[in-house]
Chains A and B, each alone.
Chain A
Amino acid sequence: MTTAIDPIVADAAVRGPRRDFRDRLRNWLPRIVLAPSFALVLFFVYGFNIWTLLISFTNSKAFTNLNFIGWGNYAKLWTWTFETDPPSNWYTALVNMVVFGGLYVIFCLALGLTLAILLDQKIRGEGILRPLYLYPLALSFIVTGTAWKLFLDPRIGLEKAVHDLGWTSFHFDWVVNPRMMIYCVAIAGIWQTSGFVMAMFLAALRGIDSEILKAAQIDGASAYATYRRIIIPIMRPVFMSALIILTHMAIKSYDLVLSVTGKNPGGAAELPSTFMYSYTFTRNQTAVGSASAIIMLMTIAAIMVPYLYSELREKA
């Protein structure tokens, strides 16, 4: 697209100094309008990230200082990564991240794809069903966590309801069992987000050219083969998008852990996000907290930057 900046200026002869100034202002106006937003982002995002990076190289405790100690905090985290017996908080956070992230991403993708394919079979009442899978997205993670904490609570929730049905040996106490809590966080997370993945896949399914599908049908392909060989491969870019968005959401998960587990007792459901928070704000080890925040940032940047780059380039 051509730049619209070039003003339609009158010829130079009539241009006095005042005219000149106004032209220049008009030239710069768009940039001046954008400048405050960009400055805010530069300062509050990039400036703050660099600031956090600097803190991560200091020995800041309860208050931040600028006594640089080099890579000490990262070295500490690195040692903790292998401290398994008893597990360090950082080790627990990393293991939980893999468990939670893996389950969350895989199940959201699988459920999302299943629901999208099922909904795409000329379903009567689709308009009623589809919103039911999507409404959890409108809820806050705190509400979701509160609901699932009650739902899975063995004293009054699912376990008790099943006992009432007569299956008295049924046992499901994960939400109060420190070793299993992280799975409940994953269940609540999947419940909240899978509808979103469904919507992405459904939109992609509906965007597929029906000519291709007709051709496959004429060639005698079965429904299964059509999905397996044609539809799902076509949807690969959406699959990638969903994968990236879900991974980044998993890394950022914070409120859900706290609310499902009820303040993350004993750090049982620790994730890097809660680790950062507790080291910074309750254990007075701001520098270690900063180092963990930088590790989170770098992980997300490694995922998002190539993704955004390719998305923006396609647009050009």
Chain B
Amino acid sequence: MTVAADRLETAPTRLPARHSTTTRVVIYGLLILFAIIYVAPLVVMVMTSLKPLDEVTSGNMFYFPHDLTFEPWTKAWGTTCVGLTCEGIKGYVWNSVKMVVPAVVISSLLGALNGYVLTKWRFPGHKLVFGMMLFACFIPFQSVLIPMATILGKLGAIGQSLTDMTGFSFGFGNPTVNLVLVHVVYGLGFTTLFFRNYYETFPTELIKAAQIDGASFFQIFRRILLPNSAPIFIVTVIYQFTNIWNDFLFGSTFAAGDSAPMTVALYNIVNTSTGVIEYNVNMAAAIIAAAPTLFVYIVAGRYFVRGLMAGAVKG
């Protein structure tokens, strides 16, 4: 897995490039043309978000802003309307953060433990267990939505009666807690996959030696495997972070209104049916929604790509 992704970074050992100058020009031309096509929507987004609305509606989207303004950004952040409340998206960004951080931490740690058991402490049937967990990543989530809604409704009822009795719901029925649960459950397959494939290549002799020295199950995990797991932790955390931050289906189904995550709020801003369409504010909100994952991609692109590829091929 890691090998496959790292190949991207190695220099090509292709046919010696004996292309003629014309061929080279065509190759570079095509590559640059494609690059422009891929970048154009993002550039247009950024430029639109920096223009006043009348310049957006009357001007050309490819022109640089004439009257540069940051007003759409402050409006998107602080005062634009999401549904009925007009307090911008800042609260929703915070909702997403509160959901993403625990979900990523819990699913990654569980994935690490699962991977450890499934490679170093195998038991009869370990393959079936892993296969079943792996298939769970690929199901269409439509097939679990209805039961999930029922169960979360039940949890909400428990939370209500707990609140009646003790004045505190203990997190039962809290939309953020619900989303954390949902994302942990449906992310487990991938995190387990990542750690399993990583620990598979870790020398079992080291584990055996530690066992003979009397190290316990958890000591081996903590002292031997964890210190060597930094790369796969980075891959897993980035993968989970990106997936969970970008989720829409669960967010829109289980956390409506003020507790919605960022993607749902963005969708509501853009598709509001009242008033003038404020393209510039919409774009500013979209960039804010995209910023965290884009930032991660820019600073840790290698690990990001590695995770993507590990989720697809394991060769």
Q: Interface residues, chain A, CB within 8 Å of chain B?
A: 1, 3-5, 7-8, 26, 29-31, 33-34, 36-38, 40-42, 44-49, 51-52, 55, 64, 111, 114-115, 118-123, 129-144, 146-151, 155-158, 160-161, 164, 191, 195-196, 199-200, 202-207, 210, 213, 217, 223, 226, 237-238, 241-242, 245, 248, 251-252, 254-255, 258-259, 262-263, 272-273, 276-277, 280-281, 286, 289-290, 292-294, 296-297, 300-301, 304-305, 308-309, 311-312, 314-316
Q: Could you pull out 21 A-B pairs where Cβ atoms are within 8 angstroms?
A: A26-B217, A42-B132, A44-B148, A45-B136, A45-B185, A48-B148, A49-B143, A52-B143, A122-B17, A123-B27, A133-B34, A135-B38, A143-B246, A149-B270, A150-B44, A156-B279, A210-B13, A237-B315, A241-B313, A259-B267, A293-B145
By a CB distance below 8 angstroms, the chain B residues around A292 are 142
By a CB distance below 8 angstroms, the chain B residues around A273 are 140, 142
Contact A203 B309 (CB under 8 A): yes
| Stretch of B77-85, B117-125, B166-174 lying at the A interface | B117-125
Contact A142 B248 (CB under 8 A): yes
B10, B28, B142, B216: which contacts A206 (Cβ < 8 A)?
B10
Contact A4 B142 (CB under 8 A): no
Tell me the chain B residues, 14-54 only, with Cβ under 8 Å from chain A.
14-17, 19, 27-28, 30-32, 34-35, 37-42, 44-45, 48
Contact A4 B44 (CB under 8 A): no
By a CB distance below 8 angstroms, the chain B residues around A144 are 41
Given A160-B60, A203-B5, A296-B140, A121-B17 contact (CB < 8 Å):
yes
A34, A38, A150, A217: which contacts B282 (Cβ < 8 A)?
A150
By a CB distance below 8 angstroms, the chain B residues around A255 are 248-249, 263, 267
Given A118-B31, A206-B12, A207-B7, A41-B185 contact (CB < 8 Å):
yes
Could you say which of A7, A26, A33, A252 has the most chain B C-beta atoms within 10 Å of its C-beta? A33
| Majority-rule SS of A interface residues | helix
A140, A207, A213: which contacts B263 (Cβ < 8 A)?
A140
By a CB distance below 8 angstroms, the chain A residues around B4 are 203-204, 207
Contact B283 A34 (CB under 8 A): no
In addition to A47-B147, A147-B41, A292-B142, 20 A-B residue pairs with Cβ atoms within 8 Å of each other are A30-B217, A34-B129, A45-B144, A48-B148, A49-B144, A52-B146, A55-B146, A55-B147, A118-B27, A122-B17, A131-B301, A132-B35, A142-B266, A226-B15, A254-B248, A273-B140, A293-B140, A296-B142, A312-B131, A316-B127
Contact A147 B13 (CB under 8 A): no
Contact A147 B313 (CB under 8 A): no
Instruction: Report the minimum CB–CB distance from A112 to chain B (whole Å).
Output: 11
Contact B294 A294 (CB under 8 A): no
A104 to B40 Cα, complex, angstroms: 20
Task: With CB as the reference atom, state the residue of chain A lying closest to B295.
Answer: A138
- At the interface, yes or no: B253 with Cβ under 8 Å from chain A? yes
A315 to B143 Cα, complex, angstroms: 29
Instruction: Report the minimum CB–CB distance from A125 to chain B (whole Å).
Output: 9
Task: With CB as the reference atom, state the residue of chain A lying closest to B115.
Answer: A34
A288 to B77 Cα, complex, angstroms: 40
Contact B279 A150 (CB under 8 A): yes
Instruction: Report the minimum CB–CB distance from A54 to chain B (whole Å).
Output: 9
A312 to B129 Cα, complex, angstroms: 12
Contact B60 A161 (CB under 8 A): yes
- At the interface, yes or no: B74 with Cβ under 8 Å from chain A? no
A199 to B247 Cα, complex, angstroms: 23
- At the interface, yes or no: B8 with Cβ under 8 Å from chain A? yes
Give 6 nearest A-B pairs by CB, closest first: A30-B121, A140-B246, A138-B297, A255-B248, A206-B7, A48-B144
Contact B308 A140 (CB under 8 A): no
- At the interface, yes or no: B108 with Cβ under 8 Å from chain A? no
By a CB distance below 8 angstroms, the chain A residues around B110 are 36-37
A37 to B249 Cα, complex, angstroms: 23
A34 to B196 Cα, complex, angstroms: 12
A5, A134, A248, A276: which contacts B305 (Cβ < 8 A)?
A134
